[in-house]
């Protein structure tokens, strides 16, 4: 698109506002709609699978202290930054990070290329997340059909999961047929929601999906609260001690840097900050919409889902049935085992096990799809905003490209491809992108002007201490995380020292593919900005 017809921007004061562009962009239907959509983006598999696994693997309550500190110093500031930057970029007709970054720092011709991460990261996550999401839909069906009823121990349930994933062949599954069928259903469901746009697709879907998700979660929550000790010989294996495992801290564990890094990483995942999704969602706000109250409400909704429900369903129940020692070994065995192995075994021991199993896995499916549709939106918005494509064409291009890119995650799961995609798309670049955002917002634009922009149209006042936190503490926290990763993990990761020799060709191929994706996006950004004249930012 060209901005030639909009070169004259009226002067205002105290805000980064811009005039509306002639190209009409989609908008949210209501404040509730955008809150539900952003909360849906944040509430995903990480709330109910990754969070409990991290708590169990990091000594229970010891994890919660750095978790809440990271929420206050990292998650909430980044959440407000992304809402504010996104609303600002939407005023210039941009819904993705390249355009938003360039709108903020127009004198720097390279800053838009840093914004590529805000498209690249969500797309990388989408191409493996959708496949994992499809497992939850499959297990919802398996629960109703009683397909794993006869399994009574973790060995049998692990074998069931492995065969479904195509990692082995047994009496339950001989190939990937079932898994691929449910992947197709899940992929089509995502495409359908994305196709119908912001208001008619994502907002409408989240408005009914989130209440249903919370209904299922609260039913399971109250069912867990009613659990008694199943083994009279082990009365300490009860629900109260299960909650004690989650909340009673071992303060000696706080001396471990690993616990702090894990907690900070979980905050990124749980709030969907540093990915680029909130940036895109906020771009569809009107310039007077409140980002403080809306952002805080969405974050609070996510924390309710994660801490109160995600941390109170699977961990206390696992404690009751497996005890304090076994629960940690289960958590260390993998995120998938906690949700797809341990929880089904627990539910099999309860009355109405088929219904309880369906509730568990279908709430995971709803959490997954509200997140995956948000992961697709940055790429779709980029095609719409920067190439003037209609929604249907942009979605068609995205779905074809994403479907092709999903295949390695499906067929080479056993070779570590999903883990590799998760590291680069969902870990490393996530922190890099967040670091760029906070420096751009608080140092390049300037904290005083940024503070005014945060509060434009706001019903709430952000505590003044956050002016200092956003400018100094949050970037230092991010640099610390990056520094620790480089110090502890960079060399082993680059040289694949922890990768089995037989899997190294697959990992190398994945990295080459990711590099090709990034270069392709850089070329598209260059093409989109060729001859483009962005209006100057409003005088402050």
Domain locations in the chain?
4-18+25-529
Residues 419, 425, 428, 431: what is their CA dihedral angle, to the nearest 10 degrees? -140
- Regions in the chain scoring below 70 on pLDDT: 1-23, 59, 229-231, 331, 333-334, 531-540
Q: From the centroid of its chain, how far is CA 89? A: 21
Length of the chain: 540
Q: Which of 133, 185, 136 lies closest to 418, judged by CA?
A: 133
**Integer Cα distance of 345 and 353 in angstroms:** 10
DSSP H helical ranges for 233-348: 239-247, 257-271, 277-282, 291-303, 311-332, 335-337, 343-348
Angle among Cα 350, 352, 355 to the nearest 5 degrees reads 115
Q: What is the pLDDT of residue 179?
A: 96
Q: What is the pLDDT of residue 26?
A: 83
Q: What is the pLDDT of residue 16?
A: 42
* Alpha carbon distance, N-terminus to C-terminus of the chain: 26
**Integer Cα distance of 463 and 364 in angstroms:** 35
**Integer Cα distance of 314 and 298 in angstroms:** 23
Question: Quick check: 421 and 121 in contact, CB under 8 A?
Answer: no
Burial class (CB in 10 A: 0-12, 13-18, 19+), 417: buried
Q: Which of 243, 212, 264, 290 lies closest to 72, judged by CA?
A: 264
**Integer Cα distance of 253 and 137 in angstroms:** 37
Q: Which of 186, 110, 111 lies closest to 406, judged by CA?
A: 186
**Integer Cα distance of 443 and 337 in angstroms:** 43
Q: What is the pLDDT of residue 331?
A: 65
Backbone phi, psi, residue 538, to 5°: -65, 140
Element (H, E) at 237: none
Question: Quick check: 82 and 437 in contact, CB under 8 A?
Answer: yes
Question: Quick check: 461 and 455 in contact, CB under 8 A?
Answer: yes
Helix-, strand-, coil-residue percentages of the chain, each rounded to 5: 75, 0, 25
**Integer Cα distance of 71 and 79 in angstroms:** 10
**Integer Cα distance of 479 and 469 in angstroms:** 14
Q: What is the pLDDT of residue 507?
A: 96
How confident is the model over 14-54, as pLDDT tens digits?
A: 344 443 344 577 889 888 999 999 999 999 998 998 898 88
What pTM was computed for the model? Answer: 0.90
> Residue holding tokens 């149209």?
457
Rg value, the chain, Cα: 23
Question: Quick check: 120 and 521 in contact, CB under 8 A?
Answer: yes
Q: From the centroid of its chain, how far is CA 88? A: 22
Question: Quick check: 246 and 401 in contact, CB under 8 A?
Answer: no
Q: What is the pLDDT of residue 3?
A: 31
Looking at domain 4-18+25-529, its CATH architecture is: Orthogonal Bundle (1.10)
Q: From the centroid of its chain, how far is CA 246? A: 23
Give the torsion sign (CA, 429, 434, 435, 440): positive
142 Cβ contact partners less than 8 Å away, ≥ 6 residues apart: 148, 357, 361
Q: What is the pLDDT of residue 484?
A: 81
Question: Quick check: 263 and 269 in contact, CB under 8 A?
Answer: no
């Amino acid at each position: 698109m060209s901005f030639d017809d909009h070169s004259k921007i009226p002067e205002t004061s105290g805000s980064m506002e811009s005039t509306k562009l002639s190209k009409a962009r989609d908008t949210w239907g209501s404040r509730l709609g955008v809150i539900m959509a952003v909360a849906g983006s944040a509430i995903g598999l990480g709330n109910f699978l990754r969070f409990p696994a991290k708590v169990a693997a990091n000594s229970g309550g010891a994890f919660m202290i750095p978790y809440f500190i990271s929420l206050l110093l990292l998650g909430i500031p980044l959440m407000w930054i992304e809402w504010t930057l996104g609303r600002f970029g939407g005023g210039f007709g941009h819904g993705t990070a390249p355009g938003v970054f360039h709108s903020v720092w127009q004198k720097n011709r390279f800053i838009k290329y840093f914004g590529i991460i805000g498209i690249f990261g969500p797309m990388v996550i989408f191409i493996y997340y959708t496949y994992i999401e499809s497992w939850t839909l499959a297990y919802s069906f398996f629960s109703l059909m009683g397909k794993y009823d006869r399994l009574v121990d973790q060995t049998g349930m692990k074998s069931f999961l492995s065969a479904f994933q195509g990692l082995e062949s047994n009496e339950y599954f001989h190939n990937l047929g079932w898994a691929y069928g449910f992947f197709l259903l899940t992929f089509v469901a995502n495409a359908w929601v994305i196709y119908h746009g912001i208001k008619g697709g994502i907002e409408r879907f989240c408005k009914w999906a989130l209440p249903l998700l919370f209904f299922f979660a609260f039913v399971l929550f109250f069912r867990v609260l009613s659990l008694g000790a199943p083994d009279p010989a082990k009365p300490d294996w009860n629900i109260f001690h299960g909650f004690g495992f989650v909340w009673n801290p071992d303060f000696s564990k706080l001396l471990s840097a690993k616990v702090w890094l894990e907690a900070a990483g979980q905050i990124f995942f749980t709030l969907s900050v540093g990915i680029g999704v909130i940036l895109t969602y906020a771009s569809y706000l009107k310039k007077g919409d409140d980002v403080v109250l809306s952002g805080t409400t969405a974050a609070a909704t996510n924390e309710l889902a994660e801490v109160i429900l995600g941390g109170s369903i699977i961990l206390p129940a696992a404690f009751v049935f497996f005890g304090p020692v076994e629960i940690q070994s289960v958590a260390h065995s993998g995120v998938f085992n906690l949700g797809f192995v341990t929880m089904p075994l627990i539910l099999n021991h309860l009355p109405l096990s088929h219904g309880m199993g369906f509730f568990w896995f279908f709430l995971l499916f709803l959490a997954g799809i509200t997140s995956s549709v948000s992961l697709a939106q940055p790429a779709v918005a980029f095609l719409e905003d920067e190439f003037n494509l209609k929604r249907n064409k942009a979605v068609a291009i995205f779905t074809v490209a994403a479907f092709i890119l999903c295949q390695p995650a499906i067929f080479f799961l056993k070779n570590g491809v999903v883990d590799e995609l998760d590291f680069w798309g969902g870990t490393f670049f996530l922190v890099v992108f967040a670091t760029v955002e906070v420096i751009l917002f608080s140092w390049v634009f300037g904290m005083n002007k940024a503070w005014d922009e945060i509060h434009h149209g706001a019903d709430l006042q952000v505590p003044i201490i956050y002016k200092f936190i956003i400018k100094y503490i949050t970037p230092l926290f991010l640099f610390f995380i990056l520094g620790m990763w480089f110090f502890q993990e960079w060399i082993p990761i680059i040289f694949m020292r922890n990768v089995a020799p037989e899997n190294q060709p697959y990992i190398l191929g994945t990295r080459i593919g990711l590099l090709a994706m990034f270069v392709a996006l850089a070329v598209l950004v260059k093409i989109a900005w060729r001859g483009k004249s962005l209006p100057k930012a409003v005088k402050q």
